[in-house]
Amino acid sequence: MRQGTDVAINFTLAQIEAFTCVCECGNLTRAAVKLGKDRTTVSELLDYLELDLGYSLFDRSSRPFGVTERGSLLYRQARLFLHEAQAFSQIAQQQEKNPPRTMTLSYDIFTPRTVLSTLASRLYQQGCRLNLCYQDRQQAEAALAEGSVDIALYQAVNKAVGERFKWRGVGSVELAVYASPQLFEQQPVSLLKLASCHQIIPNMALDLAVAQRVQIADRVQYVNDMAMLELLLANGQGWALLPVHIMAGQRSNIIRIETEMGSGGLVCPMVAIWVPGRVGHPLRQRLPDLIAELFARA
């Protein structure tokens, strides 16, 4: 068995069960029948237990077996240990019958909020609460690996996600340039003009593949607080390439800037990422399909 932090545990649950059963039954034959094992197996479990402990637990010269003083002391502890093991087994089986009631989804500014809110509502109707965690993709992949996040929604990147993750495309979002009306007096704005001005990026950092897609200017500022980002834009301190869905609504001090790219903006594909084969909420396997459906309707 695994070594604990203080004491090495060299015996197994099967050995403790065999020891306890022989104490209660008085001989190997009756204990073997009760345990559903053959007599030789039970005898070997006891022999190895005594070998690991370094002393005898039974007086085998007497009939029925006599328990030594040390064996008698250990029997009481072994019985308590088995009660705890049985309780552990019951709780584990209960968890299997009653799966987790929550799931966690990781996302960033590019993920449409209407998709997230509708997804949360759909899952709630089916008895599952969806925790929503806003963080950068690098943080999300680490959380997926450790199991604190069930699924993540991010921009597609032109690289492998690794053997531990699985992904599928779920839709796309439109990006456009936004800035204060005073920053660019003449429109459409050329890419050269955008490159010469300060660009604000709505992340703590960008994956190289994503940076090649959304970074235009040489001088950039990372801001992952949307309220602060809007304040910087309104003050004319730079421009940002943002999802159109996040900027929906009236903002007199921030406008959509027409550029050489045209009025269609830039389409950014989105992917769902998860760890395959991990046990969790039964609805988790259906999430990629459900998310793709919601993107199609958005």
Q: Once rounded to an integer, what is the mean pLDDT over residues 157-182? A: 84
- Reply yes or no on whether the pLDDT at 166 is more than 50: yes
Q: And the tokens for 193?
A: 């003009």
The whole-number pLDDT of residue 10 equals: 78
Residue ranges matching CATH 3.40.190.290 in the chain: 102-297
- The region of weakest confidence among 1-5, 132-136, 206-210, 252-256 is 1-5
Q: What is the pLDDT of residue 256?
A: 92
Specify whether the CB–CB gap between 260 and 187 falls below 8 A. no
Structure tokens at 143: 């959380």
Is domain 102-297 classified as CATH 3.30.565.10? no
Quote the CA–CA distance of 189 and 181 in Å, as a whole number: 12
Rg (CA), the chain: 31
Residue identified by tokens 């008085």 is 26
pLDDT above 80 for 99? no
- Of the two residues 21 and 95, the one the predictor is more confident about is 21
Considering only 2-11, 134-143, 154-163, which range has the smallest mean pLDDT?
A: 2-11
Q: pLDDT digits over 266-293, tens only?
A: 888 999 999 887 766 778 888 999 999 9
CATH 1.10.10.10 in the chain: give the residue spans: 13-97
Rounded CA-CA distance 223/81 in Å is 54
Conformation bin of residue 36: beta by default, left when phi > 0, alpha when psi is -120 to 50: left
pLDDT band at 296 (very low <50, low <70, confident <90, very high): very high
Measured between alpha carbons, how far is 101 from 98 in angstroms, rounded to an integer? 8
Q: Find the DSSP H helices in the chain.
A: 13-25, 28-35, 39-53, 69-97, 113-125, 137-146, 191-196, 208-214, 226-234, 287-297
84 vs 81: CA distance, rounded Å: 5
Q: What does the pLDDT read at residue 3? A: 46
Using CA atoms, how far apart are residues 43 and 41, in angstroms rounded to an integer? 5
Return mean pLDDT, the chain: 85
Higher pLDDT, 191 or 3: 191
Q: Are 272 and 156 in contact (CB under 8 A)?
A: no
Query: What percent of the chain is predicted at pLDDT more than 90?
Result: 47
Cα gap 167→176, rounded to integer Å: 26
Q: Which fold has domain 13-97?
A: Arc Repressor Mutant, subunit A (1.10.10)
Q: What is the pLDDT of residue 4?
A: 45
Q: What is the pLDDT of residues 235-252, one digit of tens each?
A: 999 999 998 988 887 677
Q: What's the pLDDT at 276? A: 84
| Lowest-pLDDT choice from 33-47, 77-91, 183-197 | 77-91
Lowest-confidence range among 29-38, 41-50, 180-189, 207-216? 207-216
pTM higher than 0.85, yes or no? no
Return the C-alpha torsion angle 14, 16, 19, 25, nearest 10: -80
Q: What is the pLDDT of residue 130?
A: 94
